[in-house]
Structure 1
Amino acid sequence: MAQKKPLPLQGIRVLDVSQVMAGPFACMMLADLGADVIKVEPPGGDQTRGAMGFKMKGPDSMGFLNLNRNKRSLTLNLKSEEDRAFFYDLAKTADVIVENYRPGVVQRLRIDYESIKAINPKIIYVSISGFGQSGPWASRPGFDLMAQAMSGVMSVTGYKGGKPVKAGVPVADIGCALFAVYGLLSAYIGAQKTGEGQHIDASLFDAAMAFSIWDMSDYWGTGVPPGPTGTSNKMSAPYQAVKARDGYFVMGATNQKLWGKLCELLQRPDLISHPDYDTVSQRLKHREALIEALEQEFAARDADDWVEVLLAAGIPAGPILTYPEAFEGEHGTHRRMCMEIDHPIEGKVKNIGFPVKMLGTPQQVRRPPPLLGEHNQEIRTEIEAGHQSEGTP
């Protein structure tokens, strides 16, 4: 059997001094790729350990178990001089630190970037917060909901005239995690050349705003603030959920070629030549009437039938699936987006699969999500051994 190649981040040590979603998710992605991620938790543990409303066999929630695989857990009271001194010793061995305290807290704890840089100049120090390390909102508590609301994301989510609606998934949290990983890996590569680390300021607010490309392009082009458009798109029409005989499905005829194919399939040549629909801009301008005309045709068949027919004609289409249907369906199963890992208390635990497939050095589940303080003695022994070796000629 061929020997497995080392994972790409093997040998990199990350201190995960974060809780809940953005920081832990970012650090889990690094751990999946081989980094030694030490989850530094307060004595009571990451608050996500007790989150969610259903009981597991052990004390940790399913949410925690889906955010912390491949990590080791170390409990420290960073308000204690003794534990802070140990954290400094640990930080000397680290390449990356990720924290998500509210701005100002790490300074009071004396574990801020400047303090750590003084003992480890190459450290890549990532601060994750709701609104960033500077600005008039910096000191505000920040959660995904607030970031979605205050970044503009909620203003374009849902349907015109409806109640405010947030995105169904935590786009600000997960987006911030992804941007944080992009920043810290870039900084780590740079540090290999310069010998100098840096402080990375990642926020949920900035991350949410970064997703606004189409909306802000529309605003900067027209001067009209964008609003909610349901499932439709600002760039083309028809491109949205449409109603069939038994329910909705999604489809998109986003250019002239696809539009022509759709009209031919529906046997509606009159739509091709109609002045309200003959160009992309005209179809966007008259979208509501266009969709009404199309749904009159789609009412003749069930949604699954239309998806099959449209795909056969080369027109993008798809069903609207529930999460169980997506994860347990043939494609989600093939892509291994649901996997099982072994846990010492829970037994087999379901985890969301790796979102990117590294084909040469595939991600691995090397460790289950850690129990609180599970690796206290192991990590302390490693650091003490390191001190001893430093003092040996």
Structure 2
Amino acid sequence: MKQIQGILDPFYEYGIKEAVRLHGPLSGVRVVDLTRVLAGPYCTMILGDMGAEVIKIEAPGGNDDTRGWGPPYVKGESAYYLCTNRNKKAMTLNLKSEKGKDILKKIIKQSDILIHNFKTGTMEKWGLDYESLKYDHPELIYCHISGFGETGPLRHLAGYDFAIQAMSGLMSITGSEESGPMKVGVAITDVLTGLYANIGIQSALLEREKSGLGQAIDISLYDAAISSLVNAASNYLVSGKVPERLGNYHPNITPYQTFKVKDGEMVVAVGNDRQFQMFADCINAPELKEDPRFITNSDRMSHREELEALIHEKLMQDDTDKWIHLFREKGIPCAPIQNIDEVFNDRHVMAREMVIEMDHTNGEKISMVGSPLKMSRTKVSYELPPPMVGEHTDEILQQLGISEEECQVLKDQKII
């Protein structure tokens, strides 16, 4: 016990919260965050949740468009902005000025990671591209998120999730023939890109432990969206057949879809022949197990419409709760179709701490989605609420040795 106490002693002077944060899996890592909107801020929030110190830098007055993407708002801050910006310090800096660029370079010198999502060519124009920075900071991990990447004929185009969903093929396989092409209900390519950026950054951190060197990471929304096509892409590449919009049907498995029941609709996701055998018993249709049209998944895919009609007739005899209880008892994948209100009142969601509360700087309590990362020892923590524009500018500059008086001069010159 004395040994353990000795290890913990240095943390007590900081208090419990700081001690927890020092134990975060990325504690000691510093991130310069020049991103805005969703993909980049989502990536850096995850890094912050895991203990990294994230410095969010915006132009004077703020240039993260999502601050104004509402309603709803919490005292002027949009719910959209709040969803991806906790665990960050915020400062403002005019990167079009030489003084602003000099200050940024000093911050980078003390940092491990720089991430930005300016259009391709912008950082080169400012002399802040990887090639320009790596000589003074060879350990720097430099991540650029863009719409179409740094190579290829579309590299100079801006990237917007909706447009990328359309171009990447995602919309062509989402929706039904009746609905026409549909986007996913959230900006899914932004979310995926933020996750890929996170994977790339943490891989580079691990590799740096061996080589001592940083590297550049080129992540695009278009690439991330195409990678998400998974089996739809593979089906096409193997067969040459363009996938169709199937609504809630699965292109390779059945029954794996929504079904109408007595009180609405629910999902049934029978993934193999063994599960189908149990499913047939559950819906009181044992004859389906012996029917040559339905014995294997390939058989069922060849006779999908006949099978769907038979299942529909059975499922309409009871309501969602009855079927969910029966199917779960037998290990058959299924789910109710919940709206967002039902999700955030779900006992399991609460038990998994997927809803958290933070005290915002403006005095309000804000509810946020918790991190899905559940780590046994180096847990995620929620230390800083989403910051106001430039909230920590003076603090960060003073850490660089810039006095209060000099900070005021920089404000007067519109550098910060």
Structures share a fold, TM > 0.5? yes
RMSD: 1.7
The one-letter amino acid of 1:206's match is D
The one-letter amino acid of 2:185's match is G
Match of 2:254 in 1: 237
CA distance in 2, matches of 1:288, 1:116: 61
**Structural mapping, 1:194-209, within 5 Å:** 194-209=211-226
The one-letter amino acid of 1:360's match is R
Percentage of identical aligned residues: 38
**Structural mapping, 1:268-287, within 5 Å:** 268-287=285-304
| Contact 2:144–2:218, Cα closer than 8 Å, also in 1 | yes
SS state at 1:176 partner: helix
Aligned mate of 2:345, from 308, 315, 328 = 328
Asked if 1:52 corresponds to 2:70, the answer is: yes
Per-residue displacement from partner, 1:282-323 (whole Å, max 9, x unpaired)? 212222321121011101011221111111222121111011
**Structural mapping, 1:150-169, within 5 Å:** 150-169=167-186
Match of 1:92 in 2: 109
Displacement of 1:331 in angstroms is 0.7
| Contact 2:120–2:156, Cα closer than 8 Å, also in 1 | yes
| Contact 2:361–2:387, Cα closer than 8 Å, also in 1 | no
Per-residue displacement from partner, 1:108-146 (whole Å, max 9, x unpaired)? 122111122122111100000111111111111111111
CA distance in 2, matches of 1:234, 1:16: 40
| Contact 2:71–2:79, Cα closer than 8 Å, also in 1 | no
CA distance in 2, matches of 1:338, 1:346: 19
SS state at 1:328 partner: coil
SS state at 1:384 partner: coil
Assess, with a 3 A threshold, how the Cα gap between structure 1 residues 346 and 131 changes in structure 2: closer, same or farther.
farther
Match of 1:8 in 2: 25
Asked if 1:223 corresponds to 2:245, the answer is: no
**Structural mapping, 1:291-302, within 5 Å:** 291-302=308-319
Displacement of 1:85 in angstroms is 0.6
Displacement of 1:228 in angstroms is 1.4
The one-letter amino acid of 1:48's match is T
**Structural mapping, 1:116-265, within 5 Å:** 116-265=133-282
Displacement of 1:216 in angstroms is 1.6
SS state at 1:318 partner: strand
Per-residue displacement from partner, 1:21-74 (whole Å, max 9, x unpaired)? 0000100000111111000111131221111223432x3211212211110011
Asked if 1:33 corresponds to 2:50, the answer is: yes
Displacement of 1:163 in angstroms is 1.9
CA distance in 2, matches of 1:223, 1:274: 32
Displacement of 1:365 in angstroms is 0.9
Displacement of 1:346 in angstroms is 4.4
Match of 1:388 in 2: none
Displacement of 1:176 in angstroms is 0.4
| Contact 1:56–1:346, Cα closer than 8 Å, also in 2 | no
Match of 1:383 in 2: 400
SS state at 2:134 partner: helix
Regions of 4+ moved over 6 Å: none
5+ residue gaps, structure 2, are: 9-18, 403-416
**Equivalent pairs, count:** 385
CA distance in 2, matches of 1:33, 1:166: 31
Per-residue displacement from partner, 1:245-282 (whole Å, max 9, x unpaired)? 11111112221111111112222233222222121112
| Contact 2:174–2:184, Cα closer than 8 Å, also in 1 | yes
| Contact 2:357–2:366, Cα closer than 8 Å, also in 1 | yes
The one-letter amino acid of 1:41's match is E
Aligned mate of 2:90, from 55, 63, 73 = 73
Displacement of 1:368 in angstroms is 1.2
Match of 2:355 in 1: 338
Displacement of 1:226 in angstroms is 0.8
Displacement of 1:188 in angstroms is 1.4
Displacement of 1:206 in angstroms is 0.9
| Contact 1:14–1:96, Cα closer than 8 Å, also in 2 | yes
| Contact 2:164–2:221, Cα closer than 8 Å, also in 1 | yes
Match of 1:21 in 2: 38
Deviates more, 1:240-249 or 1:59-68: 59-68
| Contact 2:25–2:379, Cα closer than 8 Å, also in 1 | no
Match of 1:315 in 2: 332
| Contact 1:338–1:350, Cα closer than 8 Å, also in 2 | yes
